[in-house]
Structure 1
Amino acid sequence: MQARGYSIHYVEAGAGRPILLIPGAFTTYRAWNRVLAELAHHGRVLAVDYLGVGDSDKPEAGFDYTVEEQADVLAEMVRALQLSDLTVVGASYGGAAALNLAARYPELVSRVVCIEGGALITPEVLNYSKLGDLLAWPVLGDIIWGFMQSGLFDGPTARSVMGSAWAGLSREEQQDIVAVVSANIRTATRSSWLGIYRAITRRIDFTDALDGLRIPVLYIYGTESKYRAVVDLNVGRFARSNPSIEVVPFPGGIHDLHLQFPDAVAGMVLQFLALTPAGGGAAGAAAAPRADALASGRIFD
């Protein structure tokens, strides 16, 4: 479909209350495959490739890949599809985009589930790898990109993404995650990845807009996340400025919880929908479930 003059790709399954899934940085909709399969039994699920990844457009000029710009495009997509009583679920960069979409377009979103990410991310706290800077180099960048797209590093990259959780996955789960990583790189362009890298390594701060949000928000994170400093920064801000946001930790969880615990993440999303009223808004925020109610329904293998 077209949104703001760009081609946006998404996959859809199921029927009922709509759920929009936004993947993390450099990641296609495929990262949601296992979560989508479960959610589709209970609602209409749309997993999107935001601009710069997958089969969506990858603009080389006039678009800086900020979460605000991504949210603007997604807002037009939501309007065009006439989605109502919408739940938005985002991970990491996609989680920041989900929060930004809700904060700046509250009339379009009824509730948000944010898997890490946040409204305040600073370069110092993020402490992201500097490898992305090398993609900008004329010759060295070409060499690095060629190696990345060769497929030789798909397995090591998948293991790096999953960290300590890798050993606990079944062979099938490991193969699925390698396939996700392979698709991320295979469908990418060097310029779009460089744009996303630059966007996430600049300061992101839309806390003032988020402070006024009055819809149910669930923020979940892994206790073993390598970006725990970003989590702590945002959780502290939530406690001071928007205490209605429910925060639930996953014991032993990594950054990419939807890859590590897809069934548990899907279960928490469904619980959140069941415990929040249709329509969201101020009444929805007042009736948002407490963290202990959500946590009690989780199953960790």
Structure 2
Amino acid sequence: MEHRYADINGIRMHYVTHGAGEPILFLHGFPEYWGVWKKQLEELGKDHLVIAPDMRGYNLTSKPTEVEQYHVEHLVADIRALADHLKLKKFTLVSQDWGALVGWSFVLRHPEYVRRFATINITHPALFNRDLRENPAQQQASQYMLLFRSPQAEQAIMADDYAFGRQAMIGAARQLGAQISAEDEAEMIAAWKQPGAITGGLNYYRAAKLGPPDGQGGQGGSNLLDGLKPQQLEVHLPVLFIHGEQDTYLLPSGQKGLEELVKHLSIKRIPDADHWVSLEKPALLSQYLREFMREK
């Protein structure tokens, strides 16, 4: 695997590439980094060009200090600029967690770049906004977003040597079968400890105003769809939705209506996975992606 940097869209983006062939771009979430895709890069890199960046604000990529620099328009522009830097005319986009919210946002704004799109657990932003505004169960499951937007968020996540991420991500994934080596765990924690990285990741929530009603007049939802016309919300390229059915953060109710917005939808459900599918079920995820890419 080769580590590279691209000076794009006002930042320096670190990314990892492997293999050759039809390109696949992987977008990670919070509190992750490019390495959550290592096993997929190894497997799919046997016959594809695979690319996994550290997103803006994470690990070895630039970390702007202003919250506004994490607005969806900048996140989408980063992906477009990276694709242009790599001279990718069309690619498959694979994403989870915040990477999937950016992935959806990119697909809605630049469908001409995307051959097909795979999203793990994250539904269409219009449906997620609906559930955050109207569904009490999803509102309850998303209370953590209000914490993540608060000034206390950094301290909560960094306390006790990053106990939050060690337990809620690494520990939870291992309980569902993730084989995370000591070396990979150390690399993940080192990514969290990069100066400004936790704030960078939290600023995605702050800039998007993502979350349930805040009790102070905020109705809930997000600004991820700002500037889009109603017809832009429909997706006409193939979409694979992968659902780890034990995810307690993202409830199945958000999938209601997905087939109306996505014209070519495939769904794969994994009963014994939760939020961290790329770590918990790497071989199965690679298998599903291969099958999806073979479909005509």
Structure 1 length normalisation: TM-score?
A: 0.77
Cα distance change, pair 59–41 in 1 and its aligned pair in 2 (3 A): same
Cα distance change, pair 106–167 in 1 and its aligned pair in 2 (3 A): closer
Which of residues 167, 182, 186 is equivalent to 1:179? 186
Kindly indicate whether the alpha-carbon contact (under 8 Å) linking 1:90 and 1:113 is maintained by their aligned counterparts in 2: yes
CA distance in 2, matches of 1:164, 1:58: 27
Amino acid at match of 1:117: I
Can you give the 5+ residue segments of structure 1 that lack an aligned partner in the other structure?
277-301
Amino acid at match of 1:201: L
Tell me what 1:166 maps to: 174
2:201 is the alignment partner of 1:193: yes
CA distance in 2, matches of 1:188, 1:169: 31
Displacement, 1:163? Answer: 6.4
CA distance in 2, matches of 1:117, 1:92: 6
CA distance in 2, matches of 1:175, 1:232: 36
Tell me what 1:249 maps to: 269
Structure 2 length normalisation: TM-score?
A: 0.79
Tell me what 2:217 maps to: none
Can you give the 5+ residue segments of structure 2 that lack an aligned partner in the other structure?
1-5, 212-220
Tell me what 1:16 maps to: 21
Amino acid at match of 1:169: G
Cα distance change, pair 164–191 in 1 and its aligned pair in 2 (3 A): closer
CA distance in 2, matches of 1:162, 1:143: 19
Kindly indicate whether the alpha-carbon contact (under 8 Å) linking 1:68 and 1:97 is maintained by their aligned counterparts in 2: no
Kindly indicate whether the alpha-carbon contact (under 8 Å) linking 1:225 and 1:253 is maintained by their aligned counterparts in 2: yes
Kindly indicate whether the alpha-carbon contact (under 8 Å) linking 2:248 and 2:274 is maintained by their aligned counterparts in 1: yes
CA distance in 2, matches of 1:145, 1:92: 17
Q: Secondary structure at the match of 1:63?
A: helix
* Deviations 1:88-129 (CA, angstroms, capped at 9, x unpaired): 101011012112212211111111111122332344535141
Tell me what 2:278 maps to: 258
Which of residues 80, 89, 94 is equivalent to 2:94? 89
Tell me what 2:215 maps to: none
Kindly indicate whether the alpha-carbon contact (under 8 Å) linking 1:54 and 1:184 is maintained by their aligned counterparts in 2: yes
Kindly indicate whether the alpha-carbon contact (under 8 Å) linking 1:220 and 1:248 is maintained by their aligned counterparts in 2: yes
After superposition, where does 1:196-211 map in structure 2 within 5 Å?
196-198=204-206, 199=208, 201-202=210-211, 203-204=221-222, 205-206=224-225, 208=230, 211=233
Displacement, 1:209? Answer: 5.7
After superposition, where does 1:117-128 map in structure 2 within 5 Å?
117-120=122-125, 121-122=128-129, 123=132, 125=138, 127-128=142-143
Tell me what 1:217 maps to: 239
Displacement, 1:248? Answer: 1.7
Cα distance change, pair 159–216 in 1 and its aligned pair in 2 (3 A): same
Displacement, 1:62? Answer: 6.8
Displacement, 1:84? Answer: 2.9
Kindly indicate whether the alpha-carbon contact (under 8 Å) linking 1:177 and 1:259 is maintained by their aligned counterparts in 2: no
Tell me what 1:102 maps to: 107
Cα distance change, pair 82–191 in 1 and its aligned pair in 2 (3 A): same
Q: Which moved more, 1:177-186 or 1:212-221?
A: 177-186
Tell me what 1:291 maps to: none
Tell me what 2:159 maps to: 147
CA distance in 2, matches of 1:40, 1:20: 11
Tell me what 1:282 maps to: none
Amino acid at match of 1:84: K
Displacement, 1:225? Answer: 0.6
Q: Secondary structure at the match of 1:110?
A: strand
Displacement, 1:175? Answer: 3.4
2:152 is the alignment partner of 1:132: no
CA distance in 2, matches of 1:94, 1:34: 17
Kindly indicate whether the alpha-carbon contact (under 8 Å) linking 1:31 and 1:180 is maintained by their aligned counterparts in 2: no
Aligned residues: CA RMSD: 2.7
Displacement, 1:174? Answer: 5.7
Tell me what 1:232 maps to: 253
Cα distance change, pair 252–67 in 1 and its aligned pair in 2 (3 A): farther
Amino acid at match of 2:159: F
- Count of aligned pairs between the two proteins: 265
* Deviations 1:181-221 (CA, angstroms, capped at 9, x unpaired): 41331225153233123236342353946643211111111
